[in-house]
Amino acid sequence: MGKAELVVDAKANLGEGPVWDEKEQCLYWVNITEPSIHRYDPATGADSKVLTDQFVGAAVRRESGGFIAAMKDGIYILNEQGKRLKFLGDPESDLPQNRFNDGKCDRLGRFWAGTMSMNGGKKMGALYRVDPDGAITKVLEDISLSNGLAWSPDWQLFYYIDTPTKEVWAFDYSEEEGRLSNQRVVYSFKEGDGVPDGMTIDAEGMLWVAHWGGYKVSRIDPHQGVVLEEIRVPAKQVTSCTFGGSNLDELYITTARGGLDADELNQYPHAGGVFRVKLAVRGIRSYSFKG
């Protein structure tokens, strides 16, 4: 089993949403509940942050600067300082107990992000697609806790995690329309492995899934439904991962500190940090929002 090393001792309550920026060669990630957007520069080792005015489930760079952000009360365009420039909409304004969670851009520059109930309500959330013109479309409903998303390297499949199901799903993906069909289960988490949170995909089409409550990231073959490799993380709540580095062969892993008891914090003092491990496989690059 590989082992991840600490790169940012952030002690984040809920570190999430890592995205590698190719242009800047740095990692963006969020601390959802602080709430803040962080930028880690591996060249200097510095991690800087800007604060946002509401929970930020995911923040992705815009091609024209700043961020598109999936927040507590909807989708916003933020400037470099994390301040609101534009409100794109809140498809769940009738559900004040919901907030946005994980999100990611596809290669056409559309932003995908889903929601969750903050009081544990089941199937109260959904997954949405935000087009560059700002239009927000619901693509999946009856979601409890929207999390990891990834597209296959040939853009024919979409993988998705609704955490409480403990399953990783695949869909046929029609790229031009941005639609999903033919939902099926490609992997189910085993007892004692925690639950699936964020994920990414490598150039061989294998998924890298973060184990919330499971101290690890697994490399899963979605075609065979088997685990190929595991990366041990010295933190219980492993939230998400993405490939970065100049060769896209370093896996960056975010974690959370919230909800751990004193014993767990003693044993894993770097919980809430950002970790990194060098791998033998390369990842798929990240994309920015085109709107």
Give the interface with Zn ion as residue ranges (CB under 5 A).
102, 147, 197-198
Q: Residue 113 corresponds to which tokens in the numbers above?
A: 């992000």
Question: CB of 198: closest distance to Zn ion in angstroms?
Answer: 5
Least Cβ distance, residue 239 to Zn ion (angstroms) = 5
Residue whose CB is less far from Zn ion, 114 or 291: 114
For residues 197 and 202, which CB has a smaller minimum distance to Zn ion in the complex?
197
Smaller CB distance to Zn ion: residue 102 or 193? 102
Q: Considering the complex, what minimum distance in angstroms separates the CB of residue 150 from Zn ion?
A: 13
- Supply φ then ψ for residue 186, to 5 degrees: -105, -20
Q: Which element (helix H / strand E) includes 197?
A: strand 195-201
If the CB atoms of residues 134 and 213 are measured against Zn ion, the closer one turns out to be 213
Q: Quick one: 62 or 99, whose CB is closer to Zn ion?
A: 99
233-270 in b/e form (b: 16+ CB < 10 A) is bbbbbbbbbbbbbeebbbbbbbbbbeebeeeeeeebeb
Q: How far is CA 169 from CA 50, 173, 182, in A?
A: 34, 12, 10
Supply the minimum distance, in Å, between the C-beta of residue 45 and Zn ion.
Answer: 25
Is residue 1 within 8 Å of 232, Cβ to Cβ? yes
Sign for the CA dihedral angle at 136, 287, 273, 277 comes to positive
- Nearest approach in angstroms of CB 116 to Zn ion is 9
